[in-house]
A and B are shown apart, each in its own frame.
Chain A
């Protein structure tokens, strides 16, 4: 790095730190009794030391002093990558699946719980990926379908004694219908109008779940939902439930994969890239956009039914806007339109807050910061989808 570049970096850092101090001090230092500086400078001290350290490290790395340490890692990574490129895809997938199957046998209860969450969110993320990633329709109320699925199973099993396996397709179907209902009025809208309308729909569904006492029992939620059962086998332990959701997740991954590379998937991508052009080429945009909503909603419905069975309790709190935003974050963070990307995004966003549980109060602060940071470092997502051909906006 040149001296000038280095100077620029350090001035930037200094300006940033001074700015931070100006923002921090009024919050911590102005008291009715007078000004106080100790608390501010304590916090500021930590941040400043951390910033200087990171910057120093960055410069050392840029200067190449870390090559000695970096080289072996890089060559090892290269080795793995070559091995990866040579290994047939089915071996990799088989290995992943094998790990997934063995996982509950070697881990404890808490890990099962987190793994189940991860798999539920994988279903949700992949479903939303159909809507946002493939068809390019921004949806901020996606969690509503999850809620529809969850309440479907809860109500049908408690009121009519339907089994979990029968309710699963019904939940998917009802969620798909809800998807069409929500999709229909939004078809004329684009971009951010779509965002606020779907957000509105999500809130409406949540409020109805919270207020329609006769049907949903309102804020009390529904208690005592039965566990899944198959030929007399009761899915009692978390580990057995893990296999149920694993199966649902695998089905979801396969379906989304097949959809992605089908005629429908191509048509969705065409709509995403340029709706007018797609329509001119004979793509039935109306039907396909509705289909995108319905397909996406179906997977959320499956996940919802399982969620109800796993928690044995559903309440409206689980279907708030923040959940929608979370699922959307997983999709975008992982890489829109890319199945491995979405899975990585889910792993990152479910695992991070759990890892940060140790930080207690700082948990969500760190989470928010890391989320922004990840977007800054990899704006296209951790594992962006491969796209065919070049796009006009990339030529600029």
Chain B
């Protein structure tokens, strides 16, 4: 009858773990400011997920180096893995609630951010997403949901405006990989393109986890578009598609979006990525705020900042600034301060509107000599 022993021990352990965790941390919780991050630390999007975590950590380090926030003895970051899975994201959100965090930076996939934000909203915890661009994220009337990046329903039209005004294309082919984000954006581009009088030859899909896009690309080649719009969830798969498109001899202009915007693209696709266009929020890489951030990032990670590193850094910075101004973590007061907040972040000038959006400033970048070079600004309609 070892079973009973096993059972008793298992139950006791479980009880200890579940019950005990909450209890022991409360005593010293008085004046430690706790921030959670929620991003995919494992799985196919782990690269961007780690960028988000480290961005928030660096923001906290910067604040600590400046002497912290009055009234708080320490600032701590609690990273949680959402695995880009709604269920895990909700579990992680509940875990963060248990850890008594006052704000969460995350998540990455829109499909995780939405359910996790519902959970966090029940406890009035402020959530700032650095990466989820699906319009639904801030359209649900949640008062404590903020977004530091842009929105898909701005990105699609910006891309189409580039196609008509600058590139002058007539026929396009759209490919997405069927995620909330990538498909939503591709649909937006499709409808905007039709409205603008561009012929959409086809809108095809690939599956996540695929490496072989030859079948779809053969179709692209046969259709002969002026521009191939690539809406994939991941920069590495974007790179694979670019390589295969070039190998197949597709001479259409290649255009990608913000998820493909990552140094990984050039690392993997190398010369094949040259000349590709991408839409991404305008980050002024010559601004001092970005340069300071870049230096700190390199010092900590030894790499160039990823696509969402600066947004995550700014999300955390915005929150910490608001807490500093409010002098408390009371969500209503912090929200008030966040609304008033105006500062120059590493990514852009940040100020939140009533919905929690911070505005989109999509810019078209071009890959030149292995780097992203700003090419055209959708707001001003000017080339750089």
Given a CB threshold of 8 Å, the question of whether A touches B is answered with yes
Interface residues of A (CB under 8 A from B): 77, 80-81, 84-85, 106-115, 117, 207, 210-211, 218-221, 223, 311-313, 315, 317-318, 340, 344, 347-348, 351, 354-355, 357, 360-361, 363-364, 382-383
Show 13 residue pairs from A and B whose CB-CB distance is below 8 angstroms, ordered by the A residue.
A109-B97, A110-B95, A111-B22, A113-B94, A211-B205, A221-B180, A318-B86, A318-B87, A347-B11, A354-B17, A357-B80, A360-B41, A363-B42
| Residues of chain A within 8 A of B111, CB atoms compared | 219-221, 315, 317
Which listed segment binds A: B1-9, B67-75, B160-168? B1-9
Q: Mark B157-196, 1 if CB is under 8 A from A, else 0.
A: 0000000000000000000001110011000000000000
Which residue from chain A places its CB closest to the CB of B41 in the assembled complex?
A: A361
Known contacts A220-B134, A351-B13, then 15 further A-B pairs from the complex at CB < 8 Å, ordered by chain A residue: A77-B1, A77-B2, A80-B4, A81-B4, A109-B94, A109-B98, A117-B87, A219-B178, A223-B114, A312-B118, A313-B114, A313-B118, A315-B180, A354-B17, A364-B42
Nearest CB on B from A305, distance (A): 15
| Residues of chain A within 8 A of B178, CB atoms compared | 210-211, 218-219
A248 to B11, CA, bound (A): 21
A113 with B42: CB separation less than 8 A: no
| Residues of chain A within 8 A of B19, CB atoms compared | 106-107, 111
Which residue from chain A places its CB closest to the CB of B112 in the assembled complex?
A: A317
A317 to B107, CA, bound (A): 16
| Residues of chain B within 8 A of A354, CB atoms compared | 17, 91, 95
A364 to B128, CA, bound (A): 27
A80 with B118: CB separation less than 8 A: no
B81 with A363: CB separation less than 8 A: yes
| Residues of chain B within 8 A of A382, CB atoms compared | 3, 6
A263 to B3, CA, bound (A): 28
| Residues of chain B within 8 A of A340, CB atoms compared | 3, 7
Nearest CB on B from A282, distance (A): 36
Shortest 10 CB-CB contacts between residues of A and residues of B: A110-B98, A113-B94, A111-B18, A81-B1, A313-B115, A108-B22, A77-B5, A110-B94, A220-B180, A219-B180
A85 with B86: CB separation less than 8 A: no
A218 to B205, CA, bound (A): 12
CB neighbors of A among B86-108 (8 A): 86-87, 90-92, 94-95, 97-98
| Residues of chain B within 8 A of A207, CB atoms compared | 207
The reply to whether the CB of B33 lies closer than 8 angstroms to some CB of chain A is no
Which residue from chain B places its CB closest to the CB of A207 in the assembled complex?
A: B207
| Residues of chain A within 8 A of B81, CB atoms compared | 357, 360, 363
Known: A360-B41, A383-B3. A351 touches B14 (CB 8 A): yes
| Residues of chain A within 8 A of B31, CB atoms compared | none
The reply to whether the CB of B295 lies closer than 8 angstroms to some CB of chain A is no
| Residues of chain A within 8 A of B1, CB atoms compared | 77, 81, 84-85
| Residues of chain A within 8 A of B85, CB atoms compared | 317-318
Nearest CB on A from B134, distance (A): 8
| Residues of chain B within 8 A of A114, CB atoms compared | 18, 91, 94
CB neighbors of A among B348-383 (8 A): none
Known: A223-B136, A318-B86, A363-B81. A80 touches B98 (CB 8 A): no
A348 to B17, CA, bound (A): 13
A340 to B80, CA, bound (A): 32
A311 to B140, CA, bound (A): 16
| Residues of chain A within 8 A of B86, CB atoms compared | 221, 311, 313, 315, 317-318
| Residues of chain A within 8 A of B183, CB atoms compared | 218-220
Which residue from chain B places its CB closest to the CB of A307 in the assembled complex?
A: B87
